Chain A
Amino acid sequence: MATSAPARTPRARRGLRLPTRLDRRYLPVLGTFVVLALMLVVGGTRYENFLTPAVISNLFINNAHLIVLAVGMTFVILTGGIDLSVGSVLALSTVITAALLQAGLPVAVVIPLAVLAGTVIGLAHGVMIHYFQVQPFVATLAGMFLARGLCFLIAPESIGIADPAFIELATWVQIFGQWRMTSSVLIALIVVGLGFLVLHFTRFGRTVYAIGGGEQSALLMGLPVARTKVLAYVVSGTFAGLGGLLFAMFSRSGYSLTGVGMELDAIAAVVIGGTLLTGGTGFVLGSVLGVLVLGLIQTIITFEGTLSSWWTKIVIGVLLLIFVLLQRVLSLRRT
């Protein structure tokens, strides 16, 4: 993945005592990659049929929505903020999709509206955070409650989706040999590609990193801090709305209680993917690796059979701890 290519850059300085000439910024991502590889190897040797295209395809199909959330979360965390609302915005988007489809609106109208709901909430977060200087934690916490409340206001019960056009979109499957690709995976991969391009090859992306590195300095450099910061929350909100759409395609329903605690999965994926919560350092592809690690834990626990699902939570907690300690050691060396 993206971790091996920059290994030859001559940026490693004498403070680093590793034999390889590797940029320290890539170490956490490399760690995630190693963990992922280890899990695949261990799983492959322990269980038959583990390293099959079907299992790997399912890993992506089951986690497409989380990948989209994690990409949006990466933008926000890179600016040094946080977005606690993504789980409930996702739920709101599923409920809006299902309710509008039930009301008989065409798919072409419903899909933009569902995504737009996320955009609007993201914009509100950005405005509260930047112009009213409310802390990101509080503003998005309020947004989380707001979105969850709106869900219940629209539909307290689960709504099934029966719209033929939507179903057709949701069941679109392309098969390459043993590999399967659904429309949700395709959308998720496009989002990852977009996120990667925007963060690394545009002025907006560079400003995101600059704000996370130091907002004051970014201001003094004359960068458009206000616009970029608000936009980062708009990106996160929009992707949460899109994630809701993918989840509605996955579950064929809209339900107010979906995505409870999903914001924490997204944050955990971003952290495991090597992004520092203080902002300024991190990669979209790392976050994708983080989602795959979380998904693979679930897969392994399913394969194990005897291990109960609560081990998932404990393993994720332990992994978080390891990665946070790793990042801590790396940042200690830097200073």
Chain B
Amino acid sequence: MAAKFLPTNQLASWLAELSGQYRTLVPRREGDAVVFRPFEEAFAPELGVRPTMSTKASVFPKCEPLMTFKYEKDEEDPGKVMVDVTERRDDAPAVVVGGRPCDVAGFFTFDRVYNTEKIKDLNYLARRENTFFVSLACEQPATTCFCNWVGGGPADTKGADVLMVPVSGGWLMEPVTDKGGELVASLEDGKAKEAEAQAVKDKANAAIGDAVDVSAAQDKLLALFDDAAFWEAQSSKCISCGTCTYLCPTCYCFNITDEKFGMEGVRMRTWDNCMSALFTMEASGHNPRPTKAHRLKNRVGHKFSYYPSLHDGNIACVGCGRCIKSCPVSVDIRAIVQNAIAAPAPEQEG
């Protein structure tokens, strides 16, 4: 498919055109943060800096109603209560513009869990199949970026429908899928900008440098599972908040609660995070992960060891670096993984 050119001054009109057909999410500056919001002409999209939030919520919202329910008492028999349940599913078509290649790649981590032979998460799939991505290539890696360690790249097209590459005067829009071709169909031809875009991509690929090999982490993290001293040292500064997981494009855990008001209520699914004590709290009151060391071990171990061992070696991390740069105390997951690899192997018992 032919690449198209989107001049800077036509960005708003193109987004407005998309908004006619799709729920169109774009990065918007709100205070000191950049978050994804439905496109509105009054708010110029922020495509200059990396968004604070990932694109995760477009397919996996912070909070979604799974069903609404209503109790009704039988007038004839007051002991009898009927419950009326309505399933809720959101399959409105959506386009997300301005996520980075790493953000978009994050959904593959979800797919391996929510779309399997045995398990199909229908609410997730309804949105996954109807959400399209126009991802924005990165020109330069941030100090927190490590997408190349985990199989990504600054101009990766995996999971994207269109790749948007910044060039002089606008963006080269390279369709990746048929749907992507449709999204950019109305734009002008971009042949003249192709060479420039290629140069931008080459430069970014060169700037990100050599990847660190983290494949050894899979076995090593497992070997360190019972090394309490190692995990206590690694987690000393963690304050056990949920910032890392909520900003993460691959963290897919959720909680389900019934919120009932009088005779009516909603069963909702909300993000949950393994940094919280309640995440593993059992009904008996026992908590298998009582300290932050247990919880941080789980976060790192899950991404770099337990998940890959279940899913053909695929690491559940896209290297976006949000958990590093937005962490209130700068916990660095790269350092923890490297420390684990470098740690002396614990002695085998028995």
Q: Decide whether A and B assemble into one complex.
A: no
Chain B residues in the interface with A (C-beta under 8 A): none
Interface residues of A, Cβ cutoff 8 Å to B: none
